Amino acid sequence: MSEILFYHLLHQPLERVLPRLLERTLERGWRAVVQAGSHERVEALDALLWTYREDSFLPHGTVRDGDGARQPIFLTHDESRPNGAEVRFLVDGARIDAMEGYERIVYLFDGQDETALTQARAEWKRASAAGLEVTYWKQNARGQWEKQA
């Protein structure tokens, strides 16, 4: 059964949070898919993961790179999963219908955006109604995550 995690971004933008969560995912030996809301956002995330730290990068690819099965992290704007990922990250309001087959599904949403909050609430209700294990994490002023529910 998939564990669904909701990350409520308040004090740091997605561009600072997502790379750290992806690093932890790879440290656990898992593969990831990051699903964004648009092709343009996928391109921006692609550039981010190459440059977010001076001393490192996160190995990843997009459909443009080909052979998605070889990518530890695959970036997409649709529900594809060519790398057999155990973890799916949903950003910018992206959503999936089929939640089965993942260890974790992680919703990251901007706590300053009312539309994002409304979408996250709807996804929370949908996951809860499906009987999935759902947890909610909120960022404190120091940027650390505190489990709220």
* Model pLDDT for residues 81-100, shown as the tens digit of each residue: 999 999 999 999 999 988 88
Q: How far apart are the C-alpha atoms of 63 and 79, rounded to whole Å?
A: 12
Instruction: Please name the fold of domain 3-147.
Output: Rossmann fold (3.40.50)
Q: Please report which helix (H) or strand (E) contains residue 29, including its range.
A: none
Give the global pTM: 0.94
Q: Which residue has the tokens 């990922």?
A: 85
Q: Edge-to-edge strands of the sheet including 3-9?
A: 73-76, 32-35, 87-90, 104-110, 3-9, 133-139, 145-147
pLDDT of residue 1: 67
Across 45-49, 68-72, 139-143, least confident range: 139-143
Collapsing DSSP states into helix, strand and coil, what is residue 63? helix
* Residue ranges per structural domain of the chain: 3-147
